Structure 1
Amino acid sequence: MTTPDRTATSANPAGSPIPITRADCQQRDANDPLRKFRGEFLLPEGTIYLDGNSLGPRTNGSAERAQEVVADEWGTGLIGSWNSAGWWDLPAKLGEKVAGIVGGGAGSTVVTDTTSINLFKAASAALKMQAEDSPHRRVILTQRENFPSDIYMLQGLAEQLDDGYEVRLVDDEEVTAGFPTTMSDEVSLVVLTHVNYRTGRLFDMGTTTSAIHSGGALVIWDLCHTAGALPIDLAGSGADMAIGCTYKFLNGGPGSPAFIWVAEALQNRFSQPLSGWWSHAQPFEMAPDYRPADGIRRYLTGTQGILSMSVAELGLDIHSRVDMEQIREKSLALSDLFIDLVDERLADHPVEVVTPREHAHRGSQVSITHPEGFAVMSALIERGIIGDYREPEVLRFGLTPLYIGFTEVWDTVEALRDILDNRLWDTPAHKVRGAVT
């Protein structure tokens, strides 16, 4: 996709404007040390893909790996592949790779189930631990703007426990301030998404975890929008538990399995609410009574999806070769450029950047609002520039440094300018919504 080489400006630390041109962006791409990873992903020709924060693109070799599992490991090895192909060990093997990405430490993580199921397991176990130590605590806190599935799972769990538990919602500002008004001796558990899925606001894991522990509560972090996007130090932050998915920034494929991490000190206190045979201490004894395994296998439930896990491993292997600090540096540079161009090029339109401008509070996306956000995004997608839309009025643009460059950011804002200047979004076709937006 080519666009006119127009000029925008960006403020340097001294406050004077720095010219930005498309040629400048092309030069930055040519000098980008992460550019070599672009070939690890298979994207349609002419597409700018800015939705990796929702579903990462196909990894190079994923179709071949799936075929290998189906034709050879399943087709020829049959049931013997549980041993010969290492199927049985995949949850822990992949968990070690995830742990390296999120700062979890050895033996701390398994890849298994879905994010929602892992949240149910983790929250149930955390509440039981707290009930043993502080039986009066019956409140679960979570963000009002948490991903809705997390809220629903917590509400459902509280209803099932039927012992006076309740879920209370807090605003992002309350979290950032360290819970000055909502933390009390009633609070048992706090469940937080590390990055607000709608706005891209990032929360400081270390200071927030400390504030929660000071109030006597445990914390579970949802890393769906940060795992693979920025450096994370779960163990160093003092976090208790964490969950997350592998199909966004980790590029595991649609519906690829999630992960669960638990701090070493809590692992053998974990009471498994979904006590399936994979978490049994001796699963092939086929004993009638459940006896949980020690360590991280305790967090498994039933038979794993081997095909999806095998493909997801390719995305994890890419990240094992990447410096997460380089990813973060480029992510912030891409989002700085995006925000500067929006400020400069779209100033005549009712557009607002809702992603925090401070680096310390920004994830790896830029979100903007427009009163006709859905139709504007539809018009953009028609041009082969794929972001997504979230209510109310939010256009989301995921900035994945491994396959997105500075020129694509330039071209995206230029396309937005054209669509808005000429009201190209204002057609009946762009206002028709499918089941997935």
Structure 2
Amino acid sequence: MNTGRRPKRNFLFLQGPPGPFFRLLGAELAYRRCGVHRINLSGGDRYDWSPDSGEAVIDYRGRAKDWPLFFDAYVQDHAITDVVLFGDCRPMHRSALRLAQLRGVHIHVFEEGYIRPDWMTLERDGVNGHSSFERDPEVLFAAARWLPDVPQLPAITATFRRRARDSFWHYFNVFIGKWRFPFYRTHRQDRLVAEALGWLLRFARTGRRARQAEETMAALKGQRYFLFPLQLSGDYQIRAHSPFASMPMAVDYVMRSFARHAPADVVLLIKEHPLDSGFLNWRRHIARRARQLGVADRVLHIDGGNLGELSAQSSGMVCVNSTSGTLGLEVGSPVIVLGDAVYDVPGVTHQASLDSFWQAPELPDPALYKAFKKVLHARCLVRGGLASESAIHTLIANSVERLLADDLGPRLALQAGRQELGTRPASSR
């Protein structure tokens, strides 16, 4: 006899962001009577979620080649219904996701928010270049009619120090945990020891970096400029969803285009990522390349400053595929995307070449961007963050609701939009 009960949900957590978020999220799901499992792949994972925490937590200490079959057996043996992870491009995640999809397991992928601050990304099956998010402008307009406006909410407390602290201790434990996880290879390209030394030097030079940022802002005063926010060197979005093998390669591409095609009275401001370890001295690297290209007086580096304010005052923003691009769109600034990003929608971002962007950047269509945001918030975003206790607790509360609920509302809105137009889903560009 059918009692109408839904089968128990069993969540398996893989690698999360540095810090306690995944452990606390798992505890909340366990409180909701869900099964909670965790597989640690590194010493950093073990530091963030110890096997002593009470849930079903195990360490995988084997080789990468044996991981897919181990993962698949674990999913079957424990009747896993849902897999939760942060970032879908890490090698161990990619192989696991392919098998999970074959088993019909629900996949929930967290990532930094497409819209920042105060929001995190949570999508089914994949994010960024792997996202199934609709990018057809007509479908977005039609779907947005069925959805509420994005609420205006107060800012969430956040501190850079919290993110830096969690990252430092996570990667420190990746390094010292090598004896326990001898075959683990971090998804970050940088050598961990050198990166840790870079962080120590970065903290030691806090005062100098602040003075240099002030000097750069003074030099920028009264000048037209384009903004290029850097991504982390180890960001898999660069390698997986862009034509560039590394961030230095992307920087060289942008600087060469700027030197050849930008108006002579315009400056290029390159902003360092606030969580960059300093493994590569970007200030020195950029200055040297600018001299070689003959634009030493027109290319500036800044390690600091408010990205939102810099975006608002700029003539446009260049992104590989960073979610920083949405900060530019928020203030109506032209944005060009060199890789693959969910917000790279015709009518929202510059669709022609980078060479043309310096001369005639395309402004975003405000109505289309509003429709895009409504659909994006309903389908892909959860409120909260990782940079404070209150931000994490807000993120947990909203994430649990999304994980346990069917995402029928946003999907039905998109379906209605497509039916209204008589179209099939547009493929991602």
Same fold flag (TM > 0.5): no
TM-score (norm 1): 0.29
